[in-house]
Chain A
Amino acid sequence: MSGIVIRNAVALSILLIALAILPHYLKYHHQDFLIFLVVNVLVVVSYRLVTLTGEWSLIHAVMMGVGAYASALLSKHLGLSFWISFPLAGVTAAIVAALLCFPLFRMTQFYFLIGSFAAGEAIRLSWIHFIKPFGGTSGISAIPSPELLDIDFLEPIPYFYLVLIIVTICLFLLFRIEKSRIGLTLHAVHWKAPLAESIGVNTWNYRSLAFITGSFFVGLAGALKVHYIGTVTPKQFDIGFMVFILIWVIVGGYRTFYGAILGAVVLSVLDEMFREFDELRPAIYGAILIFSILYLPAGLESLPQRLKGVFSRKSGQMEQT
């Protein structure tokens, strides 16, 4: 038991150190890519918390936008520093999510899917139509970047470290939640809601809890993203981005904590590698998707297990011959 813990801790520290060194060996636009990738990891893992109860929402991208807009407005118009507007971005997303629980969790399954999409579009279209605070389709620009000592957070490398630290903390918290009693109950609500009810679990509360907490973290992710780009627009959080979140989680696998991370990282890196093929890029991406779903239906997370299976079979055959 403790052996595994130590091994995981060592693997994790090596990974973090590697990530910390990595940007120094990358080109400028790859450094940007790395920042967005780390933000997207927080997006998929927070989405995973929402899906733990078995309800797949289509509002997660918009919740990210809620955090992004909140932080942008608070820092630009009220002059709050990033260090205050950033946590408030999460809180705003959580509050909006809490209000949405009342209509949304009266629905389940497909109705929930459609309902969450409709609620998300309602919010997103408000950003376009209420030009006064939200700036319409062109959104809000010139969002101030964080200030701390003399660090220049307009440069990718310092901002990358900021994102890496914050996302690592958030992932740790999300991991704690999933491995706690609450995580167990969320799984129970997913697998057999009536049985969970019969032993005293208020399934409505737990679905809401997962949704609100997941929205809090994705709100933070939204703020992280737009304080780097400097602009927030409704386009960034449309259904297209939501579909990417879904694809990352499905291709990566939703049974383990790291599945979604794997999906986001592998697919994003592949996509980046095919950048030079330009017009072929969407087609290649689609082909990879279809192949991975056909041949790895349980997600990338099942790959180590399957490889192990293949090797043990091979060695078994060799012993026989």
Chain B
Amino acid sequence: MAILEVQNLTKNFGGLTALNDVSFKVGEGQIHGLIGPNGAGKSTMFKNIAGFYTPTRGDILFEGKSIKGQTPSRISMSGIVRTFQETTLFHEMTVFENVLVGTHNRSRTNIFSAIIGLDRLIQQQARTSAMKVLEFMGLGDRKHQLASELPLGSQRALAIAIALVSEPKLMLMDEPFAGMNPEETRGMMQLTRKVRESGVTIVLVEHDMKAVMGLCDQLTVLNFGTLLAGGSPEQVRNNPDVINAYLGGSHHV
């Protein structure tokens, strides 16, 4: 059963075609990797799915329903949440407040109940689930620190915690391993698996081939905005087109 289905997606920026007629499916409960050389259109694909861009042609189905052209906040309400390429956090807030903001979809309130305090119960629930997610991601003892004071690995974990606390069905992770040392990468891989085990489907864009091959169930390879190959890591690794275009001719990884 495919939770996400991209159908013949094309995205033009003026005369430039960033994505050309790309289709792929993501199975529920999987970790799906989106790979390709720089400029292949991976990030563009992400932004289309998350609603930051509107596709020029084609369609995006989430749980069988089209989400094309919806705003990011609407898409997030239907259960897709993204993390960002750099460590995009609310740096000026504490770790706990960061995650608390992530509970927005369940705990938003109107100004009158906020003043009178009618929303006390939902806010209490929001704090509880924020704390639970922090413990889950191993950040429980850092909750009073400012987000900007965390080391890189913890910042990435926090970014995932913010996404996770919104109870998504599908999480889009944009280069979660970028700039990490091998140890941090291992920790991050464990966290990613843990998130999947909690019932979240994951699509990730990544350059770190070792991590991708070790982590993903399925891969989609893009090159110059077109679909180059798809399948299990084993199939992709042995696909001559992929070896040629992406892994660099005769050089094997």
Residues of A near any B CB (own CB < 8 A):
173, 176-177, 180-182, 184-185, 187-188, 191-192, 194-203, 209, 213
Interface residues in B40-71 by Cβ distance below 8 A to A read: 50, 52, 71
Stretch touching chain A among B91-99, B134-142, B189-197: B91-99
27 A–B contacts, CB within 8 A, in A order = A176-B114, A177-B111, A180-B114, A180-B119, A181-B114, A181-B119, A182-B114, A184-B97, A185-B101, A191-B91, A192-B88, A192-B89, A192-B90, A194-B84, A194-B88, A195-B162, A196-B104, A198-B76, A199-B102, A200-B76, A200-B104, A200-B166, A201-B101, A201-B104, A202-B71, A209-B111, A213-B111
**B73 at the A interface (CB under 8 A):** yes
For the complex of A and B, 9 pairs with smallest distance between CB atoms: A180-B114, A200-B76, A197-B72, A200-B105, A188-B101, A202-B73, A191-B90, A176-B115, A199-B166
Q: A188-B101, A197-B73 are in contact. Are A180 and B115 (CB under 8 A)?
A: yes
Q: Kindly list chain A residues whose C-beta atoms are within 8 Å of the C-beta of B91.
A: 191-192
How close is A188's CB to chain B, nearest CB, in angstroms? 4
Interface hub of B71, B73, B88 (most chain A Cβ within 10 A)? B73
**Bitwise interface map of B from 97 to 131 toward A, beta carbon under 8 Å scored 1, else 0:** 10011101101110100110101000100100000
B40 CB to closest chain A CB (Å) equals 22
B19 interface hit (Cβ, 8 Å) = no
For residue A201, which residues in chain B have a CB less than 8 angstroms away from its CB? 73, 101, 104
In the complex, the answer to whether A180 meets B163 with C-beta atoms within 8 Å is no
Tally of contact residues, B, Cβ under 8 A: 36
Rounded to whole angstroms, the CA-CA distance of A76 and B139 in the bound complex is 61
Q: Which residues of A have CB within 8 Å of B115?
A: 173, 176-177, 180
Cβ of B203 within 8 Å of any chain A Cβ, yes or no, is no
B81 adjacent to chain A (CB < 8 Å): yes
| Chain A residues in 8 Å Cβ range of B52 | 194, 197
Q: Determine if B82 is an interface residue (Cβ-Cβ < 8 Å).
A: yes
Q: For A191, what are the chain B residues with a Cβ–Cβ distance below 8 Å? A: 90-93
Taking CB atoms, residues of chain B closer than 8 Å to A199 are: 76, 81, 101-102, 104-105, 162-163, 166
Inter-chain CA distance A177–B111, complex, in Å, is 7
Q: Are B76 and A184 in contact (CB under 8 A)?
A: no
Q: Is B2 an interface residue (CB 8 A)?
A: no
- The 0/1 profile, CB within 8 Å of A marked 1, for residues 220-249 of chain B is 000000000000000000000000000000
* Cα–Cα distance between A54 and B115 once the two chains are bound (Å): 22
**CA separation between A177 and B126, bound complex, in Å?**
18
A185 CB contacts on chain B under 8 angstroms: 101, 104, 108
Is B180 an interface position by the 8 A CB rule?
Answer: no
Give the residues in chain A near B101, CB-CB below 8 Å.
Answer: 184-185, 188, 196, 199, 201
Measured CA separation A228–B76 after assembly (Å): 50
Chain A residues near B126 (CB, 8 Å)? 181
Which partner residue on chain A sits nearest B51 by CB separation? A197
Residues of A within 8 A of B152 (CB): none
Q: How far is the CB of A109 from chain B (nearest CB, A)?
A: 18
Complex contact A198–B89 (CB within 8 A): no
Shortest distance between the CB of A174 and any CB in chain B (Å)? 9
Q: Which residues of B contact A181 (CB under 8 A)?
A: 107-109, 114, 119, 123, 126
Residue of B nearest to A178 (CB): B114
Chain A residue at minimum C-beta to C-beta distance from B72: A197
B178 within 8 A of A: no
Q: Contacting B84 at CB < 8 Å: which of A184, A198, A200? A: A198
B77 near A: Cβ within 8 Å?
Answer: yes
- Closest residue of chain B to A175 (Cβ to Cβ) is B115
A182 to B111, Cβ gap below 8 A?
yes
Which residues from chain B contact A188 at a C-beta distance below 8 Å? 90, 93, 101
With both chains docked as a complex, state the minimum distance between the C-beta of B22 and any C-beta of chain A, in angstroms: 22
CB pair B90 A187 closer than 8 Å: yes
Per the bound structure, the CA–CA distance linking A278 and B79 in Å amounts to 64
B93 to chain A, nearest CB (A): 7
Instruction: Please state if A198 and B114 are interface contacts (CB–CB under 8 Å).
Output: no
Min C-beta distance of A203 to chain B, whole Å: 8
A177, A184, A194, A209: the one within 8 Å of B100 (CB): A184
Shortest Cβ gap from B215 to chain A (Å): 22
Complex: A191 Cα to B89 Cα, angstroms: 8
Q: Max chain B CB contacts within 10 Å: which of A177, A188, A199, A202? A: A199
